[in-house]
Structure 1
Amino acid sequence: MKSLGIDARMWRHSGIGVYLRNLLPRVVNKLPEVWFVIMGDAGALALGGQLDRENVSLVNFSSPIYGLREQWELRRRLPRCLDGFWSPHYNFPLFFGGKRLVTVHDMCHLALKQFVPGFHRRYYARRMLTQVAKQADAIICVSTFTKEEFNKYVKVPHQRIYTVHNGVDEFFLASATAMQSPPVHYPYILYVGNVKPHKNLPTLLQAFVSLMGEIPHNLVVVGKKEGFIAEDQKVLNFAAGYGGRIVFTGEIDQETLKQYYLHAAMLVFPSLYEGFGLPPLEAMACGCPVIASQAASLPEVCGQSAIYFNPFAPAELACKIKELLNDERRRQLLQGAGRKRAGQFSWDKSAARTVDVIKELLDIT
């Protein structure tokens, strides 16, 4: 029996955590002939029974992510009999002797250096990503854009790079009826994502403020706002000057998020940089029209089912928001096209493609 170790320390995170929670159970189910050693918080991994399989061993592993300590701990804790190891992020085990598979989600640390505080963080990212190119036996990128960015910034030729798109959670794709009353009592425009510099919230805030006197809608910002840096604090301070018209919900559960999508006039996603970008697809799955930045991976992911704008042009965004609010026909067209587009991205497809990569990695016929 072939064996594969997996670093699942980020199981409960957003972002990569979503990737792990959706892919790992599916991959394990599709490869009963492989023994999986899944490393992380064994208690959290066992909850819900998604990984409760005869071919799965859960191993407690809590070393902090990034840095020298995790490299030492990985070298010490990894079973020597493993045939391969899958890292869902670029912090892969440098000293592992078996086959190595690494997933690269984005190249933000190198592409947007101005938003990454601390030379040591940028240096670490560059060194590790360079080692990924040199040492990994296979690399999965979550979009063609990320694959191109990897080749652009690392500049180390690698023959086995695969594009495997993320999926949309079936929870959002399932037909749903909005609650009789929405999660809030006012009409609103929605943003979903963390309050981080590359998310480009200032452009959205400026566009919204310029429209406040013409529309009854509030702006609802859904996502984590703790742990931000100085520039993010400026965003919050700016928003605080407009009373209750700009609302930050903080993190919310998936059911509440779905209701926000279902009742929103639109989702606006102004990000400067995304390796993939799940919120626009989640919104589309719920029938919520999307206005998205024309940057990075977003045109690849959203296709012809979104309205695009220059992320550096608040006035252009304001115009597009106003036009869509006043055009019910176009909203209906976007709702239909969006649902169809979201349906093209499933975690089952992602898992099937990932399984193909693992089989090739481990020489399973």
Structure 2
Amino acid sequence: MTTGTTGTTGTAGNRAVAPATTALRTGTARPARAHGRLRRTALASLIAGAVVFPISAAASPDVPAPAPAAFAADAAPHTRYAANRASLAEAARMAQDADRTGRASKLRTMEAAGAAQFLTFDGRGKGRAVEVFGELETADRVTVLVPGSDTTLDTYERFRAGAVALQQRLQAEHPRSAVVAWLGYDTPGTVSTTVLTADRADEAAAELAPFLDQLGAMAGPGARLSLLCHSYGSVVCARTTTGPAVGDIALFGSPGTGAGSARELPTGARVWAGRGADDWIAGVPHVRLGAIGFGADPVDPAFGARPFAAGAAGHSDYLKPGTESLDSLAAIVLGTTPDPEATHA
């Protein structure tokens, strides 16, 4: 990943160079200014290197697909599911006809996963999909998973696997649970400059906030919503305004949120943060240089989030069956995690 630079040419460029040249000739150069530039460059490079090195970008070919199905605001979930299954099948056919065999194979895998319940499906470009696991219309505990970088239709299966594992874990204790895998935005590529800024997160938050309002109307009466936000998804959640139906927000594998503390987030929900011992993102510098970087570390006690145990989880392991992190996230959703503030009161 590289950060963009701009050059100065012509007369303006000469004006910019002249003072530095004069200073060198007279021995009055300003080392502090040069040091500041070097420091900013070094920090930006460090952020980029820490984010880019552990993960390679996933290819997301621009493939043909039908326009997504349109629905009335009050359309029932099962009406949406049926229309989106048809759209998924057509997208797979069009991808195959266009010789995009990789995407076609991924879409057929999504089709074969049973009676898929998609509230949204768009097979164009990187793709978007919002899939429900469980009976949304009767659920009183609804969890929305928000993914991080490089989550596309081409890598959807790994995102889906986490949603399935969480749903199975929740239903073991609380049958009236539903999990929503929300790939409702164009995630940034890990090897790109977009993953270092909040631009994509701001766009996603503008989509996620109204979706949460609609979801509350689709779910069972008085349903309690939780947001579980992974990696760059934690930046998205930190910028999403939530209503009273959202009771908890959990940030995990987070590079930071762009906020200085949990109190700055536009939500009245309880905010949790956890990081596994084997998560490489712990090495990402928690700095912010202009629009680059995300600042304070959410697991730092000074940030003010409630901590949860994530065990030895690596960056992609938080929702794996049998892990301490999955147990902790399930407890947050179900409201069975002891409140650290109450414990220390």
TM-score by length of 2: 0.35
